[in-house]
Amino acid sequence: MKENVKDVQVWGKEVTGLFSVISAYDCLDKQSRGPCLEVFKLLWKAKAFPNVVTTAWRVLLGRIPTRMNLSRRGVTVNTTLYAMCQSKEESCQHLFLECKHAQRVWLMCLKWIGISFVQQNVLNLHFTSFCLSQISNKQNLIWKGVWATIIRCIWDQRNLIVFKQGVVDAEEVFQKAQLKSWLWIKYNVQSFSYSYVNWVLNPMLCIRGYK
């Protein structure tokens, strides 16, 4: 210690040394994302409706209000079990990837596009590996949009079951994802002239039409 020198607190995240809520938030946000930053950059480029991409972003961050997340935040829930299967706790991992109903949706998607591969069981890796080798990086943004749309449709059906006594229907989830993804392309890509029937029957041809 030095005599006659006043002790002061300095906030190292600002040039001025003064604390601000904004700089604290930025610091925490960067820590929470860490090495996943590139994943989110790719997600925000995905070709899908804004609410679809936002939902996928929250899922990848683990900030969607699943029953497990609500319970951890002190919210009283009747059960933490996932409503669609009632076999495991409702975590993002289980809801969107591990549950047999979610797996059925993803398998239908791969069958639709005509490919088969071992799927990653971690959400971030599942998203990054969801790409097609036969098309360009730009065209793969359409395919990434399909991924985000499936995530949104799974979440929508989960809410339908929890709040409106809906029923589990993996085929309905996938068909809604097909329709939502086609609608985005139809109204946002001027060069896209394929009908919904074309999209359902030959998605690869339609994706390649995105220039």
pLDDT digits (tens, 9 = 90+) for 169-184: 999 999 999 999 999 9
- Check whether 35 has a pLDDT greater than 60: no
Which of 48, 3, 82, 15 minimizes the C-alpha distance to 153? 48
Q: What pLDDT, on the 0 to 100 scale, is given for residue 27?
A: 62
pLDDT for the residue numbered 76: 86
pLDDT, mean of residues 49-59: 95
Q: Compute CA distances 6 → 2, 3, 9, 153, whole Å.
A: 9, 8, 10, 59
Which has the minimum average pLDDT: 10-19, 23-32, 142-151, 177-186? 23-32
Contacts of 103 (CB under 8 A, 6+ apart): 97
Residue 194 covered by a domain = yes
- Domain shared by 126 and 27, yes or no: no
Would you call 89 helix, strand, or coil by DSSP? Answer: strand
Query: Would you state the pLDDT for residue 11?
Result: 63
Q: In 3D, which of 118, 97, 125 has the Cα closest to residue 39?
A: 125
Q: What is the spatial distance between Cα 126 and Cα 96, in angstroms, rounded to a whole number? A: 10
pTM of the model: 0.82
Other Cβ atoms within 10 Å of 40 Cβ, number: 16
Q: Evaluate whether residue 40 is within a structural domain.
A: no
Q: Both 143 and 70 in a single domain?
A: yes
Overall average pLDDT of the 119-135 stretch: 90
120 against 33, higher pLDDT: 120
3-class DSSP state for residue 143? helix
- CA 131, 37, 88, 82 dihedral sign is negative
41 within domain boundaries: no
> For the chain, what's the residue count?
211
pLDDT for res 146: 97
Q: Are 39 and 131 in contact (CB under 8 A)?
A: no
Q: What's the total number of domains in the chain?
A: 2
The model's pLDDT over 56-110, given as tens digits with 9 standing for 90+, comes to 999 999 999 999 989 888 888 888 888 888 888 999 999 999 999 999 999 999 9
- Domain range for residue 25? 1-33
Residues 28 and 74 in one domain: no
